Chain A
Amino acid sequence: MISNAPLVEFLTALADDELLIGHRDAEWTGYAPILEEDIAFSNIAQDEIGHGLVWYSLLEPMTGKTPDQMGFERPSADFRCCRFVTYPRGDFAYTVMRQYLYDEAEQVRLESLVACPSTPVRDAAAKILQEEAYHLLHSKGLVLRLGSATEESHGRMAKALADAFPQALGMFEPLNSEGQLIEAGIFPGNASLRVRWMDRILPVLRQATIPVESLGSHDATMKPDLGGRRGDHLPHLAQALSDLQSVYQSEKGASW
């Protein structure tokens, strides 16, 4: 039987990824380039934060911390999200590219959890997968269209991929307890998820006519943006958290 610590680490990383990407998506509310995308990103933001809540709730019996405490009371160094999801929202091309790369990774990660020996984890993954399928449809649809729509959109999407790719590799940064998690059958490990992810994104990016040659094969030579999984974050996370936590921190324990 696996001790709780590796599972806590694993679920915290999962939940923190969802909370932060949701927060960054929510930053488009009122600002997206088109009304429908404003609503779509706000909707996706709520879904992602909702998924974070699912994982934080599963953690509560193991850590004794409520989802609110996990989201609003921890300092940035305690977060285990990858750096990728903490970057500022950038332009809309970057947002779309990040969301697409994230959605594909999320899909691969959740699919791998459907065989997890922990029933609550398995059930949560199956439930979340249903909503993620829609996110993927949306972000993939935009990548395919913007990749080849106009010279400007093509150029912006190509730049977005070049910027986002090394960051995105950070989604697959190994966890401390990677070995124990694989041994316990919780998930197949980040190296294997990364291979599956590459197999999915490359054909889509090619179809979108976005250049992928510089990404290398399965072993990209570029330096992945790592650190998030061990709490070594960029200042972006603290900045995001100061926004995200400000209301809660201004009146701790208030009931809403």
Chain B
Amino acid sequence: MTDTQWETWEVFHQTKRGDPHEHVGAVHAPDAEMALQMARDQFARRLKCASLWVVRSRDITMTDYQDATFFARTTDKSYRDPKAFDAPEKLHP
């Protein structure tokens, strides 16, 4: 069966100014403007929201789950890990 739904848009939600935009899900919409409206209904109606981003899902380039070697750490890389100092959990104030 062909998909008669509109294309999907990934939605990124920001709780307050300065926070990172976090991915919260996707909506169907015919264009960017409607996608923002749909995203508002799905994700900003109950959540506190300062800003929303929408990105066409097909504009996202992603890695392949099958291609595990892309992330392989086969040799010892422990020298790269921050051991000699405490990394602050929160880098953003």
Contacts and interface: CB of A to CB of B under 8 A. Distances in A.
Contacts of B33: 141
Interface stretch (A33-41, A73-81, A111-119, A160-168): A33-41
A137 interface: yes
Q: How large is the interface on A (under 10, 10 to 19, 20 to 34, 35 or more residues)?
A: 10 to 19
B45 interface: yes
Contacts of B52: none
Interface string B9-46: 00000000000000000011111011001101110010
Residues of A contacting B: mostly:
helix
B28 A138 contact: no
Interface string A133-161: 01001100100010001000000000000
A36 B38 contact: yes
B5 interface: yes
B37 A141 contact: yes
Contact of B38 (A40, A145, A149): A40
B6 interface: yes
Interface residues of B, number: 15
A138 B37 contact: yes
Given A40-B41, A43-B41, A35 B34 contact: no
Interface of B: 5-6, 27-31, 33-34, 37-38, 40-42, 45
25 contacts: A34-B5, A34-B6, A34-B28, A35-B28, A36-B27, A36-B38, A36-B41, A36-B42, A39-B38, A39-B41, A39-B42, A40-B37, A40-B38, A43-B41, A43-B45, A134-B37, A134-B40, A137-B37, A138-B37, A141-B33, A141-B34, A141-B37, A145-B30, A145-B34, A149-B30
10 tightest CB-CB pairs across the interface, nearest first? A36-B38, A40-B41, A39-B41, A43-B41, A36-B28, A36-B27, A138-B37, A141-B34, A34-B28, A145-B30
